[in-house]
Structure 1
Amino acid sequence: MIVVTGAAGFIGSCLIKRLNEDGYRHVVAVDDFSKREKLINLEGKTIREKVDRRDFFDWLDRNSREVEFIFHIGARTDTTEFDRAIFDELNVNYSKEVWKRCIAGQIPLVYASSAATYGLGELGYRDDETLIPQLHPLNPYGDSKNEFDIWALEQEEKPFFWAGLKFFNVYGPNEYHKGRMASVIFHAFNQIRASGRMKLFRSHRPDFRDGEQMRDFIYVKDLVDVCMYLMHERKHSGIYNLGSGTARTFLDLVKATFAALEKEPLIDFIDTPADIRDKYQYYTEADMSKLRSIGYDKPFTTLEAGVNDYVRNYLNSGKTW
Structure 2
Amino acid sequence: MRGLFLKERTLMELVALGTGAASPTLERNVAAYALLRLGEILLFDCGEGTQVQFAKAKLSMYKVSKIFITHLHGDHFYGLIPFLTTLQLNKRTTPLEIYGPKGLREYIDFMKRISQVGFQYDLKITEIDEEFEGGIIFENSEYVVKAMPLLHRIFVLGYSLEEKEKPGHFNNELAEELGIPSGPIRGEIKNGATVTLENGAVVTPEMIIGDPIKGKKVTYCTDTLYYKNSIELANESDLLIHEGTFDPDELEKAQQTKHATSLQAALVAKESNSKNLLITHISSRYVGANRNLIKKGIAEVFPDFTIAKDLMRVKI
TM-score scaled by structure 1? 0.32
More helix by share: 1
Higher strand share: 2
TM-score, with length taken from structure 2: 0.32
